[in-house]
Amino acid sequence: MKNGTHHPLFQNCNQLTTEGFEKLYRCYQDGIVRLDKIFQQEILCLQAIDTKGRGAKGIVVTKVADLKEKSKKNIKKRTNPFNNPPNENLIQERNELPTFESSEIIPVNEQESPKKIKIARHSPSKEEKDILETLFAYNIRPSDTVIDSALSNLLTYWDGWTKKRLEMHGVMKKEKKRKFQKNKNKLIIDI
């Protein structure tokens, strides 16, 4: 076919011109030559295998490990504000700040880092355990007012108590009790 634009497949295509069709036809011919060469090398084993020129241009082979490393680097860049280049507003603000004499010392707060501060593991005291036992003595979930009053009592002993921590303590205690009962029943059956 001399002019492919008359083919019914390309009748409604506005983008394909005669020049574009010539390029497409040449690519088709190059592909046939390339496939014939690969067929003779790999299948028929008539020629030595030559992999040169087989890789498509612009396609980079990626591995899963490379993707993971790249995503870790991106996350580090996003979370660390010190890696970001300063913008013009920041530079202008720094220049406008008043200069201090060397005798004045400005304390730097080291806890302003963007990382979340972890609270150390806390083992409840006897008084705290008593409050927690009365709170979770029954199988039903205590009301919010009861939880709030228990929370205010617990905060007198340790300031790390939160409503979420209190609820998690109740869930864990219930789970521990369930496992204990399960093991106890298993021992009775084994005897």
CA distance 10 to 16: 8
Digit-coded pLDDT (tens) for 50-65: 777 666 666 667 778 8
Q: Which DSSP state fits 98?
A: P
Q: Which two tokens stand for residue 189?
A: 């059956």
Closest CA to 48 of 56, 57, 58, 38: 38
Does the pLDDT of residue 75 top 50, yes or no?
yes
CA distance 85 to 99: 23
Digit-coded pLDDT (tens) for 157-186: 888 888 888 888 888 888 888 888 887 777
